[in-house]
Structure 1
Amino acid sequence: MTVIQNEKNELIPSRTVTRWRMCIDYRKLNKATRKDHFPLPFMDQMLERLAGQAYYCFFDGYSGYNQIVVDPEDQEKMTFKCPFGVFAYRKMPFGLSQSFENTTTQMVLISNI
């Protein structure tokens, strides 16, 4: 990581670009998507469940989206085109309106097993 100085003399951390990163605008798809509001557990409920436990397991929240398989029938809806070809996601991408709800639902279901 390198640090650069901007016009206001502020130090800004910066990374060297070493690979391609896809950025897809799903606003139209998100607008047409039926919303499924999943109630998140309250913090006090989560802390109560953790109290007195010997171990706490943190599921991989950083790449949780990339662990949920997209139904093959829905892959066509998330197709994108770039100079290298036409592609569709097999795993849940970040940026879809229901990604967070689906990931949270899966994590809660797993933790209740």
Structure 2
Amino acid sequence: EGDILILEALLNNDPKPLSNQKDYLPILHNDLKVIEPKTQTEEDEPPKVELKELPPHLEYAFLGDNGKWPVIIAKDLSSNEKTDLINVLKTRKKAIDWKLTDIKGVDPEFCSHKILLEEDYSPKVQSQRRVNPKIHYVIKKEVEKLLDAGLIYPISDSPWVSPIHCVPKKGGMTVIKNDENELVPTRLVTGWRFCIDYRKLNEATRKDHFPLPFMDQMLE
């Protein structure tokens, strides 16, 4: 009980905001409509997942019959290890987020994230850079997907605005012929990764005195 009280005190003891950011701390918008996901993944309704090519050290395993409920596991596991792992995953199937709509949010009345800024920085509003029609379509579909899942919502008065980028997903190298019938190595693009350029915000963010350790440090 004593440890719980100490943890509760630490969580409630927020650092004092700097003078340049007192107006930009997150507040609870009671007027915002809570958006429920349009569809929920039911236990008896397996998600429709596109199985992509995996690196040579990984392989797909399935928690259901007929190739349903796919997961990715290491290929070099023994037969008994694979069986034990799949049995554990089957008992914890609800813990896996199969779709965006499965991700549960945190009630802002319980916990609200805020970014502490350095004192000599002010908010930056960056305009969206022009993109070609193909990338524009990718961005549009990704935003619509996040809106439908209830993970984002429109806001028109944010003091910080960062531009969107689409980064190509690398799919290895191949060789093709150019106009002069020469063999030229070319990198395959299997898709696009939706990213947001937060460099301006990162520059203004107050750095943590005690950053989280790397995973290998935790396991040593």
TM-score normalised to structure 2 length: 0.17
Structure (1/2) with the larger helix percentage: 1
Higher Rg of the two aligned structures: 2
TM-score normalised to structure 1 length: 0.27
Between the two structures, name the one with larger relative contact order (CA 8 Å, sep ≥ 6): 1
